[in-house]
Homo-oligomer: A and B are copies of this chain.
């Protein structure tokens, strides 16, 4: 029989949510550059398909040298995870974990088995609590989930490194394209009137390379590294809760540990 003042467990499933600021940031940055071009009152064309192709394709082919086919095919998934991510608010997660810990403290860890339906709504919580149910010790959970977090961070780091490397190669491809244009222009200086437009054309690849590398790929790589930190923090919270429950510690101690990992405005006050 459940008493009235029992915590009622509600696990909120993680929502996959597009990062508006990331998408907006790219759109607005490109619009700003387009606006700057439009305001120039010049008949200069900034659209040169071959230049765009050599920078974009060259960045892709030169980046793929450092990776395997599998990783390159996976790049869309990586880009997607930079634009949208599974959001778990730390304070909400902390409260859920406290609910679980309080329940386990009151009714024993066996109660967790009967909560399977609710726990299953967040796969990370489910996996950690399943280890508690299966009788793993706190040390085992520490080792296994800690190693998982390390592997996760390492995988995220490698994913971000693809974009990071591409962001370094894009300006290089732009420079190479400009060198090609310069050499061709310099080889035939017969018609002085063609020098200006030829140089303008040559500079376009540098322009595309700078935008691709510094406005799109570089910041997206930074976004991935940032998202990785967030997910690692959530997983550390869940791991610490599972360890604490497996060790049958007082939930007040867990609250203290969880709060020490949260930023001040996300800290919870579970017990009065």
Contact = CB atoms under 8 A, between A and B. Distances in A.
Interface in A195-220: 195-197, 199-200, 203-204, 206-207, 210-211, 214-216, 219-220
Contact of A183 (B189, B207, B214): B207
A66 B219 contact: yes
A181 B58 contact: no
A76 interface: no
Given A187-B200, A188-B43, A214 B169 contact: yes
Nearest to A28: B61
A56 to B, nearest CB: 10
A187 B42 contact: yes
A260 B144 contact: yes
Contacts of A140: 253, 256
A29 B61 contact: yes
Nearest to A46: B183
Interface stretch (A2-10, A16-24, A93-101, A111-119): A16-24
A12 interface: no
Contacts of A22: 64-66, 68
Contacts of A210: 172, 175-176, 179
B183 A65 contact: no
Nearest to A145: B260
A155 B263 contact: yes
A110 B42 CA distance: 79
Contact of A54 (B36, B69, B253, B262): B36
A260 B131 CA distance: 13
A176 B211 contact: yes
